[in-house]
């Protein structure tokens, strides 16, 4: 049925519906009204006259989603169920089984059970494949089957799952789940405190402040704030977290939009907890949005040294707009600019390449921090000090996205036993074992060079290529394939870090992973060393 209303037809017609808001509506009233009338007529006639039965709700949902895909990945239509999920994510509380779950067509994969919560109590482990929930087989359920795991506190749900080829059944009693913004904080040494800020939900400022005060009470004279893998969240929390370290009245971020009321300057409103304590902020390629507001503004104000790898580069602000029947439109309303005036948006969704992919900014503009240090826009937050293992590359991302690292960690867990996190050691022999698994697996990773060569071989130009040229192309492709296997060694440090992270969580949960970091994570060790050298730390900022 989705083929009935093609993307090309729907985009220009249905796009008009959501442009009914703001200044565009006022200036183009006739055109908007005209297009809405065309669409209303089309939709009515289609559903009344099509040869088979249609599902109006499904058609409309498909139409809206196809239209929004033309804009950016953050502008989304939220049905009533999505609205509730959005509220839960921001509030940091919900009722369920307490596990990260990934949906597939025929199964739900347990990515990470949270320690002490229902899924963990019921014995579920990362890597378990849920194939049935109650009487419903996941493969037969057309919607997202993970919704079947949610329910009221105290209610139960029976799940059937596969583990290492064996089928098992367990009953889970749902509970209220609290999602901590700060899942871990601890003293690294006598004078250095470490805080993990994992997300910017409504608890972010409160929990970061509590952790900071607790560590200061234990003697902390220096702080490492870890924003790695923090996907962002509430803008207000980003400003308030920044405010913990900078004075009242500082400009943190500015938002600019075509709609006047969304143009705002955001200043700190409270007295800081400590505006002098030496501070290092850790970021990586998965630090986005609110994480980049905090790290970027602290960098612009010369309040902290940023370490790690270039951040994600999301400089867009979204706001939920209420629609009818309990639905909402989460729409990109503005771009944000850090204290120095830079927008760090990395992808240009409004100027795409021939394949329809957003173009990555490569021409950066220079800005200056308060002390005159050069910083740049357009590509995320570039750390003051880069750390090799914090960086990402296409091969590592492909291994993660295709669950190659995840699956290896699952098998490793059932083949090895450790009693404490200090016992764990990932050896060169283990990495060789991983490489053999990759070679044997169906994992495929196509580089840009491979894609270009394959296109050349399959295109019209192929008719004009002689056999020698074609053979040369094929030899080149074979060499590229060999090079990808060799790249496993080239990027061993980055890949091994991800393997260690995934494996340690299997045995010792998140707390164990952070404990492991304190003695083994390259970025934390480098940050601790920097904070121990006052002249070097101050030299970077000044």
Q: How far apart are CA 228 and CA 231, in angstroms?
A: 9
Question: Kind and range of the H or E element at 282?
Answer: strand 279-283
Q: Are residues 220 and 169 part of one domain?
A: no
User: Following CA atoms 395, 400, 401, 407 in sequence, which dihedral angle do they give, to the nearest 10 degrees?
Assistant: 130
Which of the residues are catalytic?
289, 300, 314
Q: Are residues 356 and 402 part of one domain?
A: no
Q: Are residues 403 and 506 part of one domain?
A: yes
pLDDT in tens, 471-496: 666 677 666 666 677 889 999 999 99
Which residue in 196, 250, 252, 183 sits closest to 223, CA to CA? 196
Give the model's pLDDT for residue 30. Answer: 83
Note whether residue 22 is domain-resident.
no
Note whether residue 66 is domain-resident.
no
Q: How far apart are CA 78 and CA 56, in angstroms?
A: 17
> Residue 128, Cβ neighbours under 10 Å: how many?
25
Note whether residue 473 is domain-resident.
yes
Identify the top-confidence range among 14-18, 39-43, 277-281, 355-359. 277-281
pLDDT in tens, 365-383: 999 999 999 999 999 999 9
Q: Are residues 404 and 370 part of one domain?
A: no
| Last residue within a domain, chosen from 157, 178, 199 | 178
Give the model's pLDDT for residue 142. Answer: 80
Q: If pLDDT is split at 50, 70 and 90, which confidence band does 14 have?
A: very low
**The two structure tokens encoding residue 43:** 């939709």
Q: What is the DSSP letter of 114?
A: P
Q: Are residues 347 and 198 part of one domain?
A: yes
Q: What's 138's domain CATH number? A: 2.30.42.10
Domain count, the chain: 3
Q: Are residues 223 and 140 part of one domain?
A: no
Q: Are residues 171 and 189 part of one domain?
A: no
Burial class (CB in 10 A: 0-12, 13-18, 19+), 355: exposed
Owning domain of residue 515: 394-524
Note whether residue 451 is domain-resident.
yes
Give the model's pLDDT for residue 58. Answer: 87
Give the model's pLDDT for residue 448. Answer: 67
> What is the pLDDT averaged over residues 175-184?
93
pLDDT in tens, 378-420: 999 999 999 999 988 889 999 999 999 999 999 999 999 999 9
In this predicted structure, the answer to whether residue 24 has a pLDDT above a threshold of 80 is no
Q: Which residue has the tokens 């283990």?
A: 430
Mean pLDDT (the chain) is 89
| Last residue within a domain, chosen from 145, 162, 178 | 178
Note whether residue 57 is domain-resident.
no
Say how far residue 526 (Cα) sits from the centre of its chain: 25
Percent of residues, the chain, with pLDDT higher than 70: 88
**The two structure tokens encoding residue 409:** 């960690």
**The two structure tokens encoding residue 257:** 């939009």
For 45-111, the DSSP string reads HHHHH-SS---HHHHHHHHHHHHHTTS-TT-EEE-HHHHHHHHHHHHTEEEE--EEEEE-SS-EEEE
pLDDT in tens, 156-165: 999 999 999 9
Note whether residue 275 is domain-resident.
yes
> What is the pLDDT averaged over residues 275-287?
97
Q: If pLDDT is split at 50, 70 and 90, which confidence band does 541 have?
A: very high
| Last residue within a domain, chosen from 178, 196, 228 | 178
Angle at 64 between CA 59 and CA 66, to 5 degrees: 95
Q: What's 349's domain CATH number? A: 3.90.226.10
In this predicted structure, the answer to whether residue 38 has a pLDDT above a threshold of 60 is yes
Give the model's pLDDT for residue 62. Answer: 86
What is the end-to-end Cα distance of the chain in Å, rounded? 62
Which residue in 165, 159, 148 sits closest to 124, CA to CA? 159
Q: Are residues 341 and 195 part of one domain?
A: yes
Q: Are residues 156 and 200 part of one domain?
A: no
Note whether residue 421 is domain-resident.
yes
Note whether residue 108 is domain-resident.
yes
Q: Are residues 347 and 440 part of one domain?
A: no
Q: How far apart are CA 134 and CA 317, in angstroms?
A: 40
Q: If pLDDT is split at 50, 70 and 90, which confidence band does 312 have?
A: very high
In this predicted structure, the answer to whether residue 449 has a pLDDT above a threshold of 90 is no
Q: Are residues 484 and 412 part of one domain?
A: yes
Q: Are residues 340 and 221 part of one domain?
A: yes
**The two structure tokens encoding residue 199:** 């997300």
3-state SS, residue 305? strand
């Amino acid at each position: 049925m989705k083929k009935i209303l093609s993307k090309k037809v729907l985009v220009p017609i249905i796009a008009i519906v959501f442009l009914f808001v703001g200044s565009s509506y006022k200036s183009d009233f006739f055109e908007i009204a005209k297009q809405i009338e065309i669409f209303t007529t089309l939709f009515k006639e289609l559903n009344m006259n099509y040869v088979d039965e249609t599902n109006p709700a499904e058609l409309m949902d498909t139409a809206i989603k196809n239209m929004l895909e033309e804009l950016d990945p953050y502008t989304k239509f939220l049905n009533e169920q999505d609205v509730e999920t959005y509220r839960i994510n921001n509030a940091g509380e919900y009722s369920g089984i307490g596990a990260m779950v990934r949906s597939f067509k025929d199964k739900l994969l347990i990515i990470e059970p949270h320690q002490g919560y229902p899924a963990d109590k019921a014995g579920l482990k990362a890597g378990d494949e849920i194939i049935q929930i109650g009487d419903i087989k996941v493969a037969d359920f057309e919607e997202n089957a993970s919704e079947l795991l949610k329910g009221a506190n105290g209610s139960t749900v029976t799940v059937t799952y596969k583990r290492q080829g064996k089928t098992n059944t367990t009953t889970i009693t749902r509970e209220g789940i609290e999602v901590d913004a700060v899942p871990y904080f601890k003293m690294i040494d006598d004078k250095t405190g470490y805080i993990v800020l994992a997300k910017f939900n409504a608890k972010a400022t409160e929990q970061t402040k509590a952790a900071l005060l607790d560590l200061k009470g234990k003697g902390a004279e220096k702080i490492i704030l870890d924003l790695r893998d923090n996907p962002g969240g509430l803008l207000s929390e980003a400003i308030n977290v920044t405010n913990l370290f900078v004075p009242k009245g500082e400009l943190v971020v500015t938002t600019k939009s075509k709609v006047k009321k969304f143009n705002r300057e955001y200043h700190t409103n409270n007295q800081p907890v400590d505006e002098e304590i030496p501070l290092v902020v850790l970021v990586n390629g998965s630090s986005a949005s609110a994480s980049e507001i905090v790290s970027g503004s602290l960098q612009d104000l010369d309040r902290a040294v940023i370490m790690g790898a270039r951040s994600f580069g999301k400089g867009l602000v979204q706001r939920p707009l209420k629609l009818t029947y309990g639905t909402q439109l989460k729409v990109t309303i503005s771009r944000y600019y850090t204290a120095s005036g830079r927008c760090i948006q990395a992808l240009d969704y409004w100027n795409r390449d021939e394949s329809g992919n957003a173009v990555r900014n490569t021409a950066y503009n220079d800005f200056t921090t308060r002390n005159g240090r050069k910083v740049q826009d357009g590509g995320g937050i570039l750390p003051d000090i880069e750390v090799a293992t914090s960086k990402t590359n296409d091969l590592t991302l492909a291994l993660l996205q295709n669950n190659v690292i995840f699956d290896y960690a699952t098998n490793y867990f059932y083949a090895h036993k450790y009693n404490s996190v200090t016992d764990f050691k990932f050896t060169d022999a283990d990495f060789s074992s991983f490489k053999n698994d990759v070679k044997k697996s169906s994992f495929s990773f196509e580089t840009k060079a491979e894609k270009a060569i394959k296109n050349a071989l399959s295109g019209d130009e192929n008719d004009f290529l002689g056999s020698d040229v074609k053979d040369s192309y094929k030899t080149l492709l074979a060499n590229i394939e060999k090079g990808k296997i060799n790249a496993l060694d080239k990027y061993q440090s980055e890949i091994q870090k991800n393997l260690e992270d995934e494996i340690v969580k299997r045995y010792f949960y998140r707390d164990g992973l952070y404990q492991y970091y304190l003695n083994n994570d390259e970025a934390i060790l480098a940050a601790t060393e920097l904070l121990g050298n006052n002249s070097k730390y101050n030299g970077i900022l000044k």
